[in-house]
Structure 1
Amino acid sequence: SGDFDMMSNNTQVNDDFSTIYTNFLKLFYIVDFDEAAPDKLEESKYYFHMMAPSILSLVALDQTLCYLTKRKLMETNTLCINACHLILFYIFRSIIISVEYGIWIFVYQACAMPHLSLGSTEMFIVSFFIMDFLYYVGHRIEHGTRLFWAGHCLHHNADYYDIGVSLRLGFLHNIILIPLAVVPALCIHPAYLIFHQQVNLLYQFWIHTTCVDKLGILDYVINTPSNHRVHHDNSCRSDTKNFGGFLMVWDHLFGTYKREEKQPNFRLQPSEIDIYPLSQQINPLIQLGRTFRATPGIFGKVKHLFESPDFPNLEGKGASVSISHDVPESYSALKNIWEHSTIYLFVHLLLMSITTIEHLMNPLKTQCCWCCLVSIIWLVFNTEGLLRGLKYVYLVECTRCILMMLVVSLSSEFKHDDALVLHQMALIISIGGLIFAQILQVPCFKDYNHITGRSDVQASAPTPGSK
């Protein structure tokens, strides 16, 4: 019996490693043609969610290579902020994918056009080229109109270009594909469209690495890190190049291809810098709403939405991957406050995200799913206050953890869910960490301000009336 259990465990471990390896290959568009078939629809709908461990592994691998090659590592606070963006994208993606599939399947079933009756391999190839082209078109629309740039600018407004930029996805990212893909949905089953939409987006993650240089002839054929660095060059935002998703053939055909000839300029204007996740997500939409309301006339308002965005002119300001000298003083001062909040956020977001994503893939959306969603959205809302060091947020966050702990303990459904072990670990760490943080603020801990650097922040702040 013991030998049998050991063999079963070894088999399970081998299967897990095989799954991780197979999923990791999908980040490079190395997939099985049969996975796009309609009978695999339920799996392909949640491809992006299933790939969360592989995405985290990719980030870890990239940072390891950065360390070995003495490149700049991602700061912990930046990783936490980017993780919040990815969590919001995952949550909204679960809703949007149901909407887009509903629209596409309605069009596919209701239209009178003949459906393509090809084999799985042929259908895979045809739908691959169609969705890759639509990604190119949609990407150009996102950069060329104020309406869709408001949902895409988050991806380009990072204070440093590295693998973390791939995590900065707005909750409206790629929403333009819903109307664009209605045309192919007239004759192609939506399962193929959804599959390539998901995998094409997954491919975008690794090309944000700074550890890979030019790849020779591959740079002319497919999207590579070199090509994508040119796309993120902020010195020529009004003339952005390299919009392709996987293939660069569309950029060659429409004259938007550009080779990396010099180090791109990733610098931002000080007015573009925002260091809090919710502000980064919502402020562009608020700004668009204000300008829309201020534009006179119905025709003028519609025209305003679909006009090209007003990009700042950064031409000739030097190629720099860092913007530390352009960052407002408040940004640098807040880094001292971040030091004792980011470790808590990093551990909690990591453990909690795994559980939440697993429940998002559950088509029944059980009590576990909704509790996890409420809890992690609450955490994302608390993130800004935790990074600011606001005292009341510690109380709010501790309340969230205690309530979730009670739900986990009292719910019979949670007791039969092995995945909630990670969630319970996160809650225990949270409550303990928050209580410890409050204990450190007791007056008897005289060195607390010195340890956290708050005294430096207060000392550096000008007093009223000082010059």
Structure 2
Amino acid sequence: MAAAAGSGSVSRGLRAMFFMLTPNESSFEKVEEVPQYVQQAMPYFVGLMLLEMVVGALMTGSPVVTLSDGLTSLSAGMISRLPLLVMRSCELSAYLYVWDHFHLLELPWDSAWTWWLTFLGVDLCYYWVHRFAHEVAILWAAHQVHHSSEYYNLTTALRQSLTQQFTSWIFYLPMALAVPPSVFAVHIQLNLLYQFWIHTEVIRDLGPLEWIFNTPKHHRVHHGRNLYCIDKNYGGILIIWDRLFGTFAAESDKVVYGLVFPINTFEILYVQLHYYVYLWKRSRTYKTVSDKVSTFIKGPSWKPGKRRLGDHVDNPKVTGNEKPHGPKWSLTFQIYVGLHFLLVLWTYHELFESKTVLSQLTIFGMTSYVLLTLTSLGFIIEQRPSSAFLETIRCVVMVMLMRYSYLRSPLPLLSVPTEAFVSLSLLYWALQSFSQLLSIKKKDD
């Protein structure tokens, strides 16, 4: 019986990735009963990413993902979920508030009709969340994170924004007037999970399904910075919304991925926040209050005298021969960054899976450590001069956390090797920092 239950759990988990759960097995009376589908999907994310790497290498003879870009995407995904350690998602929290105070009718939570209506409602709301995120500059400041990769693979799906959830909740509130929160809580997760597998170049065409569903072929267009790709194909699960509202574009020319103006960096906090700084600086160049405000609420391409969404006359021309930005760094540093990323990924996993109630201070300290690590590894990838000092500080923090049992090795057998590796890392970067300080002193003398 236990084996059968385990097999059923695996089947449900895999089917959840493709929105293939039935209403009977994914309907719950209370929000507290709804599974954490996204958190439970982590093994499937890893498995599908590994499968894509193998299939992609066999098909093209070259890797589908680079270490620098892939780790940046995974880091963004990790950062985007850190707020969930101390709060419910903004979408669900706001939804519960409106439901508790303002709902007009209560559709039955165990009805298949309610389930399918919510499926359509969440997907339609997502279309408008997504479209506004491209058409309103302050919303684009959050969403641009997802488009910042110049590659298109399953790791790109996890390149999510830390701040987008703080505004997306607005678009789902009309549903809270009638749809029970438990039904909404299921669909908001399944809608997100479906969008994982469409971030790939391995799947080329799905025939008649392309007319109804959002597929890798349609979503590749959405991630392009070619002129024919910009602001097209916003759908989540269904592509019919784009066909209805005039935002559909078929894949034709070769798609060049990434932002219109590539940021060319792997520093994770810059990836997350740089566009807010850019908007603020741009708004200060305008004299009138109207133009200053318009900088934030009109399209990213808007300028005074232009229409609301602006135009693309200033965009760089895309030839199709552009090569993605990437660092030239040694295999030794690639192994080093990869190993330390796996260690912080384990820490991140333990934070979410902890069976004990963690204090707010502990959560704050551990999330700060995660952010410090992801930032420092980005500095190493870019080979910044300050990376030695930052990594020295991080290794000191890591040694202290291990000393007081806040950090543990993934396996007991690896405890001693892990501690030795961390100690050697600290020694290396301390020597590098000391060497740099001597060089600076000699220059000053």
Q: For residues 209 and 348 of structure 1, what CA distance do their matches in structure 2 show? A: 27
Q: TM-score, normalized by length of structure 2? A: 0.82
Q: TM-score, normalized by length of structure 1? A: 0.79
**1:1-400 pair list within 5 angstroms:** 15-34=5-24, 36-39=26-29, 41-42=31-32, 44=34, 46-69=36-59, 70-94=61-85, 97-111=88-102, 113-117=104-108, 119-236=110-227, 239-266=230-257, 271-310=262-301, 317-320=318-321, 323-324=323-324, 327=325, 332-334=327-329, 338-359=333-354, 365=358, 372-387=366-381, 388=383, 390-400=387-397
Contact 1:234 1:314 (C-alpha < 8 Å) held by counterparts: no
Deviation at 1:193, TM superposition (A): 1.8
Partner in structure 1 of residue 403 of structure 2: 406
Across the aligned residues of Structure 1 and Structure 2, the Cα RMSD in angstroms comes to 3.5
Contact 2:212 2:239 (C-alpha < 8 Å) held by counterparts: yes
Q: For residues 42 and 223 of structure 2, what CA distance do their matches in structure 1 show? A: 24
Identity of aligned residues (%): 20
Residue by residue, what CA displacement relative to the aligned partner does 1:135-159 show, whole Å, maximum 9, x if unpaired? Answer: 0011100011101100011111213
Q: For structure 1, which runs of at least 5 residues remain unmatched after alignment?
A: 1-10, 415-419, 444-463
Closer, same or farther: CA 206–64 of 1 in aligned 2, 3 Å: same
Residue by residue, what CA displacement relative to the aligned partner does 1:269-314 show, whole Å, maximum 9, x if unpaired? Answer: 6653222111111111211222234444444333221111126855
Residue type of the partner of 2:319?
G
Contact 2:16 2:37 (C-alpha < 8 Å) held by counterparts: no
2:423 aligned with 1:422: no
Partner in structure 2 of residue 448 of structure 1: none
Closer, same or farther: CA 67–301 of 1 in aligned 2, 3 Å: same
Range moving further from structure 2, 115-124 or 102-111:
115-124
Q: For structure 2, which runs of at least 5 residues remain unmatched after alignment?
A: 302-311, 432-442
Q: For residues 83 and 110 of structure 1, what CA distance do their matches in structure 2 show? A: 38
Closer, same or farther: CA 113–401 of 1 in aligned 2, 3 Å: same
Deviation at 1:15, TM superposition (A): 4.6
Contact 1:208 1:229 (C-alpha < 8 Å) held by counterparts: yes
Deviation at 1:40, TM superposition (A): 5.1
Q: For residues 63 and 51 of structure 2, what CA distance do their matches in structure 1 show? A: 14
Contact 1:76 1:342 (C-alpha < 8 Å) held by counterparts: no
The number of residue pairs the alignment matches comes to: 421
Higher helix share: 1
Q: For residues 131 and 252 of structure 1, what CA distance do their matches in structure 2 show? A: 17
Contact 1:295 1:304 (C-alpha < 8 Å) held by counterparts: no
Range moving further from structure 2, 119-128 or 309-318:
309-318
